[in-house]
């Protein structure tokens, strides 16, 4: 159940794990090929829906009498990458969500607002103004609506009409909702002192917003936390253990093209919050 408030850490040690992602004999579909399979799933589900390609991961859906929708395939593609055998079920499931989103939007409830961490380019090509804040580097915070099987990214106008202007009080409420959905986290020790932090509901990146998680000595390690960010886990090293930072930096550099990462940039926790990690400082 998603009613656990706060974060509980369970630390496990595994000498068998390494920082190398498992090799796979077959290559995953490119974003363009995945997009085309996604469009096929939409046409199979709703033949009358017109689909217009905007970019490799953005498509527009339209049908007379329904809302026009711009669909970002970011989440669907990452769900497929986690299990390549799930291609058909992922495209069918997310196509269903995209078609359903063409119905007139229901009023937003403040209890459903959450904060996601996404790359700045995530909303590129989407014309309506969204509610965002910078985090660090090329990452930003985005106000979203949590739904049973997906997230919606509402516009500034939709939020303002339903729950009021997105002021500090609304951001704080969205953060509290996010904490509840994060639930428990597990921290697995990898070689060289790197920690793999995984949390429920795909909210791992949102753990960056939980200040209580990043106080000194909360996670095993000396010095400031250095983090690589992907959608489903955080890899954490510490400046007090240079070998851990070196291992993490090497791993990220070797997987710079891996689409599961939200950003190829490492972040470091400072007294002022998150910043881009600079190994020369």
For the chain, give every domain's residue range.
9-23+183-276, 31-100, 110-180
Percent of the chain with pLDDT over 90: 46
251-267: average pLDDT: 85
pLDDT of amino acid 44: 94
Indicate yes or no: pTM above 0.85. Answer: no
pLDDT by residue (tens digit) across 233-246? 899 999 999 999 99
pLDDT of amino acid 5: 30
110-123: average pLDDT: 90
pLDDT of amino acid 100: 85
Please give the Cα distance from 61 to 97 (Å, whole number).
12
CA 111, 166, 100, 123 dihedral sign is negative
Q: Is the pLDDT of residue 25 over 80?
A: no
**Residue 140 CB partners (closer than 8 Å, separation 6+):** 117, 118, 119, 120, 122, 132, 133, 134
For residues 26 and 163, the model is more confident at 163
Nearest alpha carbon to residue 252 among 272, 269, 236, 239: 236
pLDDT of amino acid 201: 66
pLDDT of amino acid 3: 29
Please give the Cα distance from 84 to 26 (Å, whole number).
9
pLDDT of amino acid 142: 94
Full DSSP string of the chain: -----S--EEEEE-TT--SSPPP-SSPPPPHHHHHHHHHHHHHHH-TT-EEEE-SSSEEEEE-TTS--EEEE-HHHHHHHHH-GGGHHHHHHHHHHHHHHTTSPPPPPPGGGEEEEEEEGGGGTT--S-B-EEEEETTEEEEEEEE-SS-EE--BHHHHHHHH----HHHHHHHHHHHHHHH--EEEEEPGGG-EEEEEGGG-GGGGGG-GGGGSTTSSSSSSSEEEEEBSSEEEEEETTSHHHHHHHHHHHHHTTT-TTBS-SS-EEEETTEEEE--TT-
204-211: average pLDDT: 91
């Amino acid at each position: 159940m998603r009613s656990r408030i706060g974060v509980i850490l369970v630390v496990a040690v595994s000498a068998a794990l390494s920082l190398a992602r498992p090799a796979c004999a077959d290559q995953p579909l490119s974003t363009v090929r995945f997009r085309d399979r996604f469009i096929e799933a939409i046409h199979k589900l709703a033949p009358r829906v017109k689909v217009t390609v905007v970019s490799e991961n953005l498509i527009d859906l339209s049908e007379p009498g329904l809302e026009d929708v711009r669909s970002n395939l970011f989440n669907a593609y990452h769900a497929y990458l986690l299990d390549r055998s799930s291609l058909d079920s992922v495209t069918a499931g997310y196509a269903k969500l995209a078609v359903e989103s063409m119905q007139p939007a229901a009023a937003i409830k403040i209890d459903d607002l959450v904060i996601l961490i996404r790359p700045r380019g995530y909303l590129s090509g989407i014309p309506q103004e969204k509610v965002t804040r910078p985090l660090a580097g090329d990452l930003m915070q985005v106000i979203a609506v949590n739904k049973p099987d997906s997230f919606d990214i509402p516009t500034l106008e939709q939020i303002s009409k339903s729950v009021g202007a997105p002021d500090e009080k609304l951001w704080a409420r969205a953060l509290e909702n996010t904490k509840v959905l994060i639930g428990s986290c597990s921290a697995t020790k990898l070689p060289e002192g790197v920690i793999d932090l995984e949390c429920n509901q795909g909210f791992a990146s949102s753990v960056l917003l939980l200040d209580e998680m990043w106080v000194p000595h909360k996670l095993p390690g000396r010095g400031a936390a250095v983090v690589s960010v992907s959608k489903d886990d955080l890899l954490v090293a510490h400046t007090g253990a240079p070998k851990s930072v070196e291992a993490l930096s090497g791993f990220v550099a070797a997987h710079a093209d891996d689409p599961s990462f939200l950003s190829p940039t490492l972040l470091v926790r400072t007294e002022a919050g998150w910043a881009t990690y600079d190994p020369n400082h």
